[in-house]
A and B are shown apart, each in its own frame.
Chain A
Amino acid sequence: MADISIKGLHKTYPGSTELATNNVSLDVAEGEFMVLLGPSGCGKTTLLRMVAGLDFPDEGSISIGGRDVTYLPPQDRNLSMVFQSYAVFPHRMVRTNIAFGLMMKKVPREEIERKVRWAADLLQLSPYLDRYPAQLSGGQRQRVAVARAIVMDADVLLMDEPLSNLDALLRLDFRAELKKIVQQLGSTTLYVTHDQVEAMSLSDRVAVMKKGQIAQLGSPLTVYEEPADRFVGGFIGSPPMNFLDGRITQQGALEVAGQNTEAPEFLARAAARTGGSPVMVGIRAENIAIAERGTEGSLDAVVEVVEPLGHATLLTVDLGGQTVKVQVPSTVRVSSGDKVGLRFDPAALRFFDTETQLGLTA
């Protein structure tokens, strides 16, 4: 087990002018489960590959457990990895697939056998040890890939979208299992995904990436509740955060769609000085409640679409020309065309600068 320290990584792929990673620095503590989250092309896989030694950075440094590994080949870094495509060896049986890394390290035979048995038990692969990967299902193949990675006792465990090729139900199951296994191992883990639910549910900390840079680094709940900018708020959460054009008036009220509601004090004070300023309001669907139209502090709106999801009902609401997603308990009975009032939870309101799109805080 070891910590990972990444400093100022620059990487441009040959034939491309865009930076795949742009001055990325990241510290992963010993035993931490760090998730790199971002849309495709944000540089998260490139970052992982550079930690793995499959790609080399143009600039910057990577050290694992205090040892500089920036330009070491992968086999000298003492790490293991789970690939998106599983990358199990088709010409070897499950047993030798799992044992491959240990065999390369020339671990004694009894030791290998013990570890393979342990990993196979843990991942419910014991009945399949003498089969070829082609005889297994996708989920089982993924288990082989995980087993192969965890027997290594490596300093660092890398995972590149390990669940993305599984079907939805299997993914849900395996996600919890993976979390349990990694907690048991306690190894430092760097996990790449574009699935924000996966990131939220697995990680100790999330690094949200965008265009080769880390947009926000924090605990999953912090990233969810206090997005650093509009991109993070829009990327994390299902449905994503609502963004509304608004204004802080000189009188210290928040004006959205021509209607006024209370503004937080730090913005009101600033607005009183400058004579009012435009602001972007962010609020999550579950922090908006439906109220009787015309009640104190509610904004008039019209329901456009009603989507019952079972555990809740998702409404698409028109608020003075802006579309808002609202999540209400499934007990609430509304139908499209209803005129309703919206009540924002003031504690859950987030504000962003209209120019820089960065979050505004006190």
Chain B
Amino acid sequence: MSHATTSQATEPAARPGPEVDRRPLARRRRNRILLQAACILITLFMALPIYLIALAAMSSRQSLQKFPLSFIPDNFSTETMQTFLQSTGILGGLINSVQVGVFTLVLSLIVGVPAGYAVARFAFRGRDPYQLFLLFTRALPIVVLSVPLAQLFLQTGLYDSVLAVVLLHTALALPTTILITASVFLGVPRDVEEAARIFGCSPLQAFLKVVMPMAVPGIAAASIFTFVMSWNEVLGASILTLNQRTLPAQVLSSLAESPLAYRFAGGFLLVLPALVFIFFMRRYLTNMWGSTIR
């Protein structure tokens, strides 16, 4: 306090003198440029194959044989896609795949979200073994599981149905759904839930009106994970179905004897719905009310 008069001496200089070390600033700028470059590289790594597949699927058969291949769509044609879509089992497989994906999603959320909430909120007996047990379904490879599963489904009459694949995929998706949603429910403060109780909610209402909306990003993440997993899963779906094939299973079964164009078209059709789904779920993933994550 007694130094009030001397504090004037430390007023900032109008221009930084030559003695200021500006190297850290330069280093910072360089690091930022490197980071940007890395981002672009990784994006290219992911996007380029998708682009090439799309390009091939949208080109005519003849242009695929050309050398060198052009990287810009010079002769756009839907011919390849049309032939692919008209081949046997493809449209049916597409419909089956969408059905399986959606039902798996719904079922795994119906079971997984309450389970995740329980794991996050309640210290029930056997919680730790339960969490460990959850991971067991993923510990065994599907190849090992598939034969007993096929036998079981044959006996119960579920074999070769959409439901069979839905049940398998739900079982495969549940561990991740539960673990992801549990970690998000952990992030919802207990106070907020208690406030909902004080202001007139029953426990169920507090969950539906306050906790669930706050957990939307986690639920979206789990949904993406589940849907994409289900969409891409081939082995289980191939083993459990014969006529009701999902799209990947259908493409896989006829891959070996199909022409190149067919493969590209199949690949494109397999990538597209997953991308569209992620695109729409993305906004829930970053849904932070009043503060945007960019």
Q: Which residues of A contact B (CB under 8 A)?
A: 52-54, 73-75, 79-81, 83-85, 87-92, 100-101, 104-105, 131-135, 148, 152, 158
Contacts and interface: CB of A to CB of B under 8 A. Distances in A.
B290 interface: yes
Given A85-B189, A89-B210, A131-B290, A100 B202 contact: no
Given A91-B214, A135-B290, A75 B191 contact: no
Contacts of A92: 289
Given A134-B289, A158-B198, 20 more contacts: A52-B198, A75-B197, A75-B200, A75-B201, A85-B189, A87-B189, A87-B192, A87-B195, A88-B192, A89-B196, A89-B214, A90-B192, A90-B288, A91-B213, A91-B289, A92-B289, A101-B198, A134-B288, A135-B290, A148-B199
A79 B194 CA distance: 13
Most buried by B among A75, A88, A131: A75
Closest 8 CB pairs of A and B: A132-B290, A104-B200, A101-B199, A134-B290, A87-B191, A87-B195, A134-B291, A132-B289
A54 B194 contact: yes
Contacts of A104: 199-201, 205
A252 B196 CA distance: 63
Chain B contact residues: over half helix, strand or loop, or mixed? Answer: helix
A34 to B, nearest CB: 18
Contacts of B195: 81, 83, 87-89, 148
Given A133-B290, A134-B289, A135-B291, A75 B198 contact: yes
Contact of A80 (B192, B198, B214, B216): B198
A329 B21 CA distance: 51
A74 B198 CA distance: 5
B46 to A, nearest CB: 31
Contacts of B189: 85, 87
Interface string B24-52: 00000000000000000000000000000
B230 to A, nearest CB: 28
A81 B198 contact: yes
5 contacts: A90-B214, A91-B289, A100-B199, A104-B205, A133-B289
Contacts of B194: 52, 54, 74, 83, 87
A90 B289 contact: yes
Interface in B259-275: none
B121 to A, nearest CB: 14
Contacts of A87: 189, 191-192, 194-195
Contacts of A134: 288-291
Contacts of A80: 198-199
Interface of B: 189, 191-192, 194-202, 205, 210, 213-214, 216, 288-291
Nearest to B200: A104
A89 B199 CA distance: 12
Most buried by A among B197, B198, B205, B291: B198
A84 B194 CA distance: 12
Contacts of B198: 52-54, 74-75, 79-81, 101, 158
Nearest to A101: B199
A284 to B, nearest CB: 27
B289 A83 contact: no
Contacts of A81: 195, 198
A89 B194 CA distance: 11
Nearest to B215: A91
Given A85-B191, A90-B214, A91-B214, A101 B290 contact: no
Contacts of A89: 192, 195-196, 210, 214
Contacts of B288: 90, 134
Contact of A101 (B200, B213, B216, B289): B200
Nearest to A83: B191
Nearest to A90: B289
Contacts of B197: 53-54, 73-75
A14 to B, nearest CB: 8
Contacts of B192: 87-90
Contacts of B201: 75, 104
A339 B198 CA distance: 60
Contacts of A84: 191
A73 B210 contact: no
A83 B210 CA distance: 16
A320 B214 CA distance: 62
Contacts of A105: 200
Nearest to B192: A87
A84 B190 CA distance: 12
Nearest to A148: B199
A306 to B, nearest CB: 14
Contacts of B210: 89, 91
Contacts of A152: 199
Contacts of A53: 197-198
B128 to A, nearest CB: 15
A124 to B, nearest CB: 19
B213 to A, nearest CB: 4
Contacts of A85: 189, 191
A288 to B, nearest CB: 26
Most buried by A among B199, B210, B290, B291: B199
Nearest to A160: B191
B217 to A, nearest CB: 11
A92 B189 CA distance: 15
A79 B199 CA distance: 8
Contacts of B289: 90-92, 132-134
